């Protein structure tokens, strides 16, 4: 049985805070009772049976173990109490206490809430390709790992035989070709799989033009494996790295997540690296392509992309530039004596990636970037200590659920804890959960990033990080604006908490460190370094707004709320700068409002999420329904989207289409409903007409399960408009938060 391990280290691992927040899984055949093993098998069977109706797991394996450690019994049957109830202070309190008891029981001993973080369905496959090419597959993954990864990939296969870009997506060439490849590399035969899964996948690939139709990200990975040719990939010249930093297209000026993928991809392209050509690779050449491998027109293949994958079509300017680089630039740059520039660029990129690896403790900024950086590290020196450090961190990305084992895009330990504390503090009975709050406080305190990246970090295109907080663990070292803001806000709220929760307050100087760069509208990881028009050079077909660090209503709102609280507690610290920041940020949010009264949310689904953040931010600086037309328009928008059952239910398609879209069947979603409730309550809806809030509260309470949990539903997170994410603990955090605020009104 798989065992979840929290905050544990191991060989080749370093940590600045005793591995706080680290989550890994270990297979132990003696772990767990017979009843627990039967429960896991039952959960797996149930998920597989219902996988086309409910696409997401409920994290039963992790929650079962966490609850046991905290002497709490889960209802693995996920039953509901169908008896009628009235909406009053007593019933709301009863619901809250059940929810808080459950939520406290699934908190880890280090103070965070472990959980899956599903995103793109191709990240598992890319890690498998790296491990295969570097001959590290059997070293890193046991037979039990491979078994669970295969389970996951088969569970995520669509009825038509393909795999979507994400769990709720229609089949795409990128995920289908890569996941088929991964299954073969894991030892599955071409005719294996439940219900003829492999032949069905291969048929989907062939019916849609074969692997030559894969987007550029897939072209790179298949070229690395040796089942695609680099001559079929549009140029990714590493020489761009040699450009002065003043040049807009210098890779160091790009958005951090794209930068940390583009630069290692340019290294691989510059090397034209291909792994060992094994019998399996030769077989995959025949399996993935429609035409014989040696007869494929690779020059033409570089322009092909399946229509199912195209969300962000290439511009004519980009096509012209690619043609020029392919026909003239690449031949010129690879001929002597000009080729010395490529050698110089590759050397500098290798040094840059080494710097990033070391400063992120080999976690890197995300799973996709780690796979690329790990491969580049191996190419530089296959038996290096650095590569061993990389292999040791693969476990940080593996997660086991009842759906199997996957490579998570990352984890969100700090982010979840910051929201969780605010949800608990919103309840009148928060003092009953002081132990939970104390552990969460300690986790946040220990997760603050204490130093900037090493050396002259600005020359390595890194932003200041000292005093900030990241999305996941402190060891990773990448600060994020809204994570810093939410963590700071929580510490300030805890300092105002009326009862002693038994923990020392964080030092004032560390709070000051967290407020070191007040400015206008806020992006995510860094300041904007290049121009919005750079998006016309977006080489990815699957994502939008990926080139530039944009500014977002959510990040800006979080910063407003945190700085307003900080100013209240420390009125003399950089007062003029903070006042100016709040004025500019408020104007920024108001300017972003859509004509219908909504705000577009870039990191959650979608208009509901953005509108909640906007109202919270404006309210933090004294704006209200009575004195701000933006808030009045926002309330009108939210009320217009309420369903008959009292809830709200917004689809991930809202992010993709940029137009509000309901879930299929006018279904309501418990998290969407909680966001809408929080926004309306903050805007004073209870004083004008409490009925919509009462209906929403009734809906949330009606969804609660017998043990206090809430059901796992559709994806509720988002990034890059076409990349939904699933935040597992949102289903617990936000119903608690909304009902906690609502109880104060009853």
Residue pLDDT, tens place only, 528-561: 899 999 999 999 999 999 999 999 999 999 999 9
Tell me how far apart the alpha carbons of residues 304 and 577 are, in angstroms, rounded to a whole number: 51
DSSP SS3 for 92: helix
- DSSP-based three-state secondary structure for 398: strand
Could you tell me which of 592, 588, 599 has the C-alpha nearest to residue 621?
A: 588
Of 683, 700, 555, nearest to 629 (Cα)? 683
d(CA 249, CA 242): 11
Q: DSSP letter for 447, please.
A: T
| CB distance 661 to 622 below 8 Å | no
Contact in structure between 2 and 62 (CB atoms under 8 Å): no
pLDDT in tens, 462-491: 999 999 999 999 999 999 999 999 999 999
Alpha helices in 228-384 (DSSP H): 256-271, 279-288, 298-301, 316-324, 330-333, 340-359, 367-380
pLDDT greater than 60 at residue 458? yes
Q: How far is CA 708 from CA 73, 300, 661, 701, in A?
A: 11, 57, 30, 10
Residue with tokens 């890690």, as numbered in its chain: 127
State the Cα–Cα distance between residues 701 and 86, nearest whole angstrom: 10
Residue 503's pLDDT is what?
Answer: 44
> What pLDDT was estimated at residue 500?
58
DSSP-based three-state secondary structure for 75:
coil
Helix (H, G, I), strand (E, B) or coil at 5: strand
Instruction: Residue count of the chain, please give it.
Output: 746
| Torsion sign over Cα 222, 257, 361, 148 | negative
First-last CA distance in the chain = 46
The per-residue DSSP string of 404-426 comes to EEEE-S---HHHHHHHHHHHHHT
SS3 label, residue 473: coil
The pLDDT assigned to 703 comes to 96
Closest to 163 in 3D by CA, of 193, 143, 187: 193
State the Cα–Cα distance between residues 656 and 664, nearest whole angstrom.
15
- Cβ neighbours for 85, distance < 8 A, ≥ 6 positions apart: 91, 701
DSSP track, 643-659: -TTS-B-B-THHHHHTS
Q: How many Å apart are CA 662 and CA 684, to the nearest integer?
A: 25
Average pLDDT over residues 657-683: 97
Report the percent of the chain where pLDDT is more than 90: 91
Q: Cα-Cα-Cα-Cα dihedral of 421, 426, 431, 432, to 10°?
A: -80
Sorting pLDDT into bands at 50, 70 and 90, what band is 663?
A: very high
Task: Give mean pLDDT, residues 301-309.
Answer: 97
Catalytic residues, by residue number, are 482
Cα 386 from Cα 391, distance rounded (Å): 9
Interacting residues of 196 by C-beta distance below 8 A, sequence separation 6+: none
Q: Which of the four pLDDT bands, split at 50, 70 and 90, describes residue 83? A: confident
**Given a cut of 60, is residue 509 above it in pLDDT?**
no
- Average pLDDT over every residue of 555-582: 92
Residues whose CB is less than 8 angstroms from the CB of residue 190 and which lie 6 or more positions away in sequence, other chains included: 184, 198, 199, 202, 283, 287
The CA-based angle 679-680-685, given to 5 degrees, is 155
Tokens of 204: 């989907």
Q: Is the Cα dihedral 118, 120, 124, 130 positive or negative?
A: negative
pLDDT (tens digit per residue) in 263-285: 999 999 999 999 999 999 999 99
**Confidence label for 501 from pLDDT (cuts 50, 70 and 90):** low
Q: Which pair of tokens denotes residue 715?
A: 């994806």
Element (H, E) at 576: helix 575-592
What is the reported pLDDT for 217? 97
CA distance 222 to 178: 8
Check if the beta carbon of residue 132 is closer than 8 Å to that of residue 185: yes
The span from the CA of 553 to the CA of 555, in Å, is 6
3, 26 Cβ separation under 8 angstroms: yes
Please state, in angstroms and as integers, the Cα–Cα distance from residue 625 to each residue in 107, 583, 589, 622, following that order.
37, 18, 15, 10
Minimum mean pLDDT among 360-364, 495-499, 728-732: which range?
495-499
- The token duo for 35 is 């009843």
What residues have CB less than 8 Å from 89, skipping those under 6 apart?
Answer: 743, 746
Per DSSP, which regions of 150-267 are E strands?
163-164, 171-172
What lies within 8 Å, CB to CB, of 236 at 6+ separation is 220, 262, 265, 266, 269, 270, 539
Give residue-wise pLDDT tens across range 584-639: 999 999 999 999 999 999 999 999 999 999 999 999 999 999 999 999 999 999 99
Q: Which residue has the higher pLDDT, 292 or 508?
A: 292
Q: Give the pLDDT of residue 513.
A: 56
Q: Is the pLDDT of residue 520 over 70?
A: no
The mean pLDDT of 197-202, rounded to a whole number, is 98
Chain-wide mean pLDDT for the chain? Answer: 94
State the burial class of residue 94 (Cβ atoms within 10 Å of its Cβ: 0-12, 13-18, 19+): middle
pLDDT bin (cut points 50, 70, 90) of residue 391 is very high
Encoded tokens for 229: 């040719």
pLDDT at 510: 56
Q: Pull the structure tokens for residue 629.
A: 């037309």
Which DSSP letter does residue 325 get?
Answer: I
* Residue 574: pLDDT band with limits 50, 70, 90: confident
**What is residue 746's predicted lDDT score, i.e. its pLDDT?**
84
Identify the pLDDT of residue 506.
59
Per-residue pLDDT at 39 exceeds 90: yes
Least confident of 270-274, 298-302, 495-499, 603-607: 495-499
The arithmetic mean of pLDDT across residues 70-92, rounded, is: 85
Average pLDDT over residues 710-714: 96
The answer on pLDDT for 508 being more than 60 is: no
Which residues fall within 8 angstroms of residue 360, CB to CB, at 6 or more apart? 475, 476, 477, 478
């Amino acid at each position: 049985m798989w065992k979840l391990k929290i905050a544990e280290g191991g060989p080749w691992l370093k940590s600045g805070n005793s591995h706080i927040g680290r989550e890994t899984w270990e297979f132990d055949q003696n772990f767990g009772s017979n009843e627990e093993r039967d429960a896991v098998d039952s959960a797996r069977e149930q998920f597989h049976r219902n996988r086309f109706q409910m696409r997401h797991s409920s994290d039963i394996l992790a929650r079962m173990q966490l609850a046991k450690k905290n002497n709490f019994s889960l209802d693995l049957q996920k039953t509901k109490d169908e008896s009628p109830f009235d909406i009053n202070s007593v019933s709301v309190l009863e619901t809250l206490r059940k929810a808080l008891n459950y939520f406290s029981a699934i908190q880890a001993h280090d103070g965070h809430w472990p959980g899956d973080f599903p995103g793109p369905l191709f990240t598992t496959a890319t890690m498998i390709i790296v491990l295969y090419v570097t001959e590290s597959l059997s070293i890193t993954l046991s037979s039990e790992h491979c078994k669970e990864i295969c389970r996951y990939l088969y569970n995520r296969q669509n009825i038509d035989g393909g795999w979507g870009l994400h769990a709720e997506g229609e089949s795409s060439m990128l995920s289908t070709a890569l996941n088929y490849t991964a299954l073969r590399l894991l030892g599955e035969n071409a005719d294996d799989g439940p219900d003829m899964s492999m032949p069905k996948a291969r048929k989907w690939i062939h019916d849609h033009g074969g692997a030559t139709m894969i987007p550029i990200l897939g072209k790179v990975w298949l070229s690395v494996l040796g089942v695609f040719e680099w001559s079929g990939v549009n140029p990714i010249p590493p020489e761009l790295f040699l450009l002065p930093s003043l040049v807009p297209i210098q890779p160091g000026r790009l958005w951090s997540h794209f930068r940390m993928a583009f630069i290692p991809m340019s290294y691989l392209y510059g090397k034209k690296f291909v792994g060992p050509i094994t019998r399996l690779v030769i077989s995959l050449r025949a399996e993935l392509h429609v035409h014989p491998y040696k007869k494929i027109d690779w020059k033409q293949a570089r322009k092909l992309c399946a229509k199912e994958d195209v969300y962000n079509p290439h511009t004519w300017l980009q096509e012209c530039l690619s043609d020029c680089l392919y026909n003239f630039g690449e031949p010129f740059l690879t001929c002597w004596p000009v080729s010395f520039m490529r050698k110089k660029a590759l050397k500098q990129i290798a040094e840059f990636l080494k710097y990033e690896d070391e400063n992120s403790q080999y976690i890197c900024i995300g799973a996709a970037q780690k796979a690329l950086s790990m491969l580049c590290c191996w190419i530089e020196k296959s038996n290096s200590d650095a590569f061993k450090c990389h292999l040791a961190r693969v476990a940080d990305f593996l997660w086991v659920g009842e759906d199997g084992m996957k490579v998570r895009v990352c984890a969100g330990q700090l982010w979840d804890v910051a929201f969780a504390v605010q949800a608990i503090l919103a309840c009148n009975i928060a003092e009953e959960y002081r132990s939970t709050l104390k552990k969460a406080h300690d986790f946040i305190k220990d997760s603050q990033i204490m130093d900037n990246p090493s050396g002259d970090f600005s020359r390595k295109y890194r932003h200041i990080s000292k005093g900030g907080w990241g999305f996941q663990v402190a060891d990773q070292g990448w600060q994020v604006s809204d994570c810093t803001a939410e963590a700071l806000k929580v510490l300030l709220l805890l300092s105002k908490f009326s009862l002693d929760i038994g923990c020392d307050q964080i030092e004032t100087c560390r709070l000051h460190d967290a407020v070191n760069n007040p400015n206008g509208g806020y992006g995510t990881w860094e300041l904007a370094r290049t121009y919005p028009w750079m998006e016309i050079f977006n080489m990815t077909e699957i994502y939008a707004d990926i080139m530039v660090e944009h500014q977002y209503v959510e990040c800006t709102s979080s910063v407003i709320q945190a700085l307003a609280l900080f100013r209240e507690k420390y009125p003399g610290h950089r007062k003029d700068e903070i006042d100016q920041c709040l004025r500019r940020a408020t104007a920024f949010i108001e300017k972003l409002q859509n004509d219908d009264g909504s705000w577009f949310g870039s990191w959650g689904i979608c208009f509901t999420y953005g509108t909640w953040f906007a109202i919270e931010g404006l309210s933090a600086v004294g704006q209200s329904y009575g004195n701000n037309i933006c808030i009045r328009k926002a309330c009108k928008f939210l009320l217009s989207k309420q369903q008959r059952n009292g809830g709200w239910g917004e689809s991930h398609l809202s992010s993709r289409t940029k137009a509000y879209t309901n879930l299929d069947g006018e279904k309501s979603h418990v998290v969407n409903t909680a966001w809408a409730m929080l926004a309306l309550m903050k805007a004073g809806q209870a004083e004008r007409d409490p009925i919509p809030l009462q209906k929403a509260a009734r809906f949330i309470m009606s969804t609660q399960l017998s043990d206090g949990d809430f059901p796992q539903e559709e994806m509720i997170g988002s990034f890059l408009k076409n990349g939904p994410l699933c935040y597992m603990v949102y289903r617990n955090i936000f119903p608690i938060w909304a009902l906690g605020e609502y109880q104060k009104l009853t």
